Amino acid sequence: MSRRKGPATIIFAVILGLATPSGLEASRIVSSKFKDCSTLLKKHTKGVAVSKAKRGKTKAMISASVYRANKALDRDQNGIACDSGDLAVAWTAYEFSGTGPDVKALTSPANEPALVTFTHSGESNFAVWSLDSKLEQIDLLANEIGDYTGTIFLDRGYSFTPEVARHLQIENAESWTAKVAPASSAAAFLGKSAGSGDSVLRYDGGRTTISVLHAGEGNFALTTYTKEGFYDDLLANEIGDFSGKVVLPENCYIVISADGKWSIAK
């Protein structure tokens, strides 16, 4: 014997229907969830922002529902899923240490830029080269007599001819350490920064001008790289003291090579 639904049951069903998404809406939410950033970026190439305010000057698509479905992919928790910061923090920093010459394989992703912070204690010449997968030299990352502490940007060369570093070659060293970390872990440039020696800053903003100062006797260079790790522009290159204004491109890494104190400010 069948039972008719009473008024209370009908009202409850209506309320329940209003409180839950329709089958079509539910399927859309499920279909907008991606397993990783590589998959998401095939459809939304600049990432997905939860709001216009969070998107800022980036080119991420704005969709609160898609963002919520993929919130776990927003690793740096800046309101944008799968932006350049999220891609870089998808792996954990690791460290090498030793005494004397050595060659170490890099285990970080080949398609992402990285930072390498070196320390050296001793009186000998400390030199480090980046090597490709065939153990051929790419770039001289550090070359100093005596003690050294500095952070180097492990870039990917030019976008049209990428060069991927897969090893570090340490030469003529005494006691040393090398910490490899995601480029996104670099200190943020928020309008004013100062330091000493080789350093890397992360800039998330629009094109602007900055004042640059350097006090030292050696070569001073200020270079920018894209968030993907490719060479962008050489803003300053001077031996000794430097003072001037330069144009800083949008959304970039700022790589400082210096032997003395430096400062940059909007």
List, for residues 119-134, the tens digit of each pLDDT value.
999 998 999 999 999 9
> Which positions ≥6 away from 100 have C-beta within 8 Å?
173, 174
Question: At 136, which CATH number?
Answer: 2.60.120.380
Does the pLDDT value for residue 16 go beyond 50? no
> What number of other Cβ atoms are within 10 A of residue 46's Cβ?
15
Residue 161 shares a structural domain with residue 196: no
Q: Is the pTM of this model over 0.75?
A: no
CA geometry: angle at 65 spanning 61 and 70, to 5°? 80
In a domain, 26, yes or no: no
Which CATH number characterizes residue 247's domain?
2.60.120.1050
Please indicate, yes or no, whether residues 143 and 221 belong to a single structural domain of this protein. Answer: no
Domain end, chosen from 67, 90, 113, is at: 90
Domain that holds residue 75: 35-90
Per residue in 222-254, pLDDT tens?
A: 999 999 999 999 999 999 999 999 999 999 999
Please indicate whether residue 25 or residue 176 has the higher confidence score (pLDDT).
176
Question: For the chain, what is the domain count?
Answer: 3
pLDDT at residue 191, rounded to an integer: 94
Strands 125-131, 167-171: pairing kind: antiparallel
> By the 8 A CB rule, do 183 and 202 touch?
yes
Q: How far apart are CA 144 and CA 147, in angstroms?
A: 8
Quick: pLDDT tens for 64-87.
999 999 887 887 778 999 887 776
* Residue finishing a domain among 128, 152, 184: 184
- Is 140 domain-assigned? yes
23 in any annotated domain: no
Is 61 within a domain? Answer: yes
In a domain, 28, yes or no: no
Q: What is the mean pLDDT of the chain?
A: 87
The share of the chain scoring above pLDDT 90, in percent, equals 69
Domain membership flag for residue 135:
yes
Residue 196 lies in a domain: yes
Cα angle vertex 16, ends 15, 20, to 5°?
A: 120
Residue 210 lies inside a defined structural domain of this protein: yes
Taking the C-alpha atoms of residue 99 and residue 240, their distance in angstroms, rounded to an integer, is 32
Instruction: Using the 3D structure, point to which of 72, 90, 108 is the last residue of a domain.
Output: 90
